[in-house]
Amino acid sequence: MQKESTSEILKKVRRIELKTRGLSNQIFSGQYHSAFKGRGMAFSEVREYMPGDEIRTIDWNVTARFNQPYVKIFEEERELTVILVVDVSASDNFGSKEKLKKNLITELCAVLSFSAIQNNDKIGVIFFSDKVEKFIPPKKGKSHILRIIRELIEFEPESKGTNISEALTFLNNAIKKRAIAFLISDFMDDHPFKDGLRLANQRHDLVALQIKDEREESLPNVGLLPVVNPETGEWQWMDSSSKKVRNAYKQEAARWNESLHKLFKKTGVDFVSLYPNRSYVAPLINLFKKRSLHA
């Protein structure tokens, strides 16, 4: 495949910026703030204990010094750190219509990045396949976001596979302060990642954005189809004209999807499913609203 010129990449960056920045300004900035505010709390001061205060907020050192109970006061941290944990494995190059999963991932990352800087937050990115491919440490500013968008467009991973646990272990080790982490993937991973999800969600505020294509859930009736696994290179013929084959494919996809969603619920990770050929605006806003209600 011919490599794009710098001017072509910059045009793409500009197009994505115009589309996603507008969405972020008009729709997401308020929803984003209310969905994540109060998740990071910083110690502010102490005051004397008053009836109704929670026992767990008592500062025992100050209480002992002054011989009467004092409680710690916490304030919402004004500045949060947002980390995009982005799957760049080969399966993201799939798309049955005009838009690839990879294109949707780029747009989502841009929208979340612009929402973050609207809120004066830092944003960083971890690209992963079956290993961590690249880490862009969290920073603020428009030029930083444009660099992230450009990397998303032109980045070529060294590996084709997927290992979500590797990426989450790196997140926990690299980001010491509690952060909001968006794990953006199709979650097609043969390695177990339940413990990775659980540990990352304990250390950080983890949100899963599952990227799916309609053809991964059901087959069209178009006769013999060559089906290729982009991560392993294995392929086989499928007879899509057979109703039995189509039903078996659909049932297997539904089973896999249900088990994944159960895994998110078990590990306490908020999630939403998004499709390249459908609008992501309403599903994302609903996710943010749901989080605001439980904040």
On whether the CB atoms of residues 188 and 162 are closer than 8 A, the answer is yes
pLDDT at 257: 92
On whether the CB atoms of residues 133 and 155 are closer than 8 A, the answer is yes
pLDDT at 228: 66
167-175-27 Cα angle (round to 5):
85
Q: How far is CA 169 from CA 110, 196, 210, 228, in A?
A: 24, 7, 19, 30
Joined together, the tokens standing for residue 95 give: 């798309």
Q: How far is CA 25 from CA 33, 119, 290, in A?
A: 12, 11, 20
Spatial neighbors of 285 by CB under 8 A, at least 6 apart, are 27, 28, 31
Q: What is the DSSP letter of 94?
A: -
- Amino acid code (one letter) for 43: F
H or E element that contains 61: helix 60-66
pLDDT at 295: 56
Please state at what angle helix 101-118 crosses helix 6-23, rounded to 10 degrees: 60
- 3-state DSSP percent of the chain in helix, strand and coil, to 5: 45, 20, 30
pLDDT at 220: 79
Strands (E), 156-288: 180-185, 205-211, 224-228, 235-239, 270-274
Joined together, the tokens standing for residue 52 give: 């109704």
Phi, psi of 6 (to 5 degrees): -60, -40
On whether the CB atoms of residues 207 and 271 are closer than 8 A, the answer is yes
User: If the chain, 295 residues long, is cut into consecutive pieces of 10 residues, what is the mean pLDDT of each piece?
Assistant: 64 82 75 69 72 84 89 68 93 60 90 87 95 95 91 90 96 93 94 95 95 82 74 76 85 92 96 91 89 70
Superfamily per CATH, domain 6-36+79-294: von Willebrand factor, type A domain (3.40.50.410)
Indicate the pTM of the whole model. Answer: 0.80
Give the residue among 171, 182, 240 at the shortest CA–CA distance from 210: 182
- Kindly give the pairing relationship between strand 81-87 and strand 180-185: parallel
Domain boundaries, the chain: 6-36+79-294, 41-76
pLDDT at 226: 76
pLDDT at 3: 57
83-89-288 Cα angle (round to 5):
35
pLDDT at 1: 44
On whether the CB atoms of residues 144 and 123 are closer than 8 A, the answer is yes
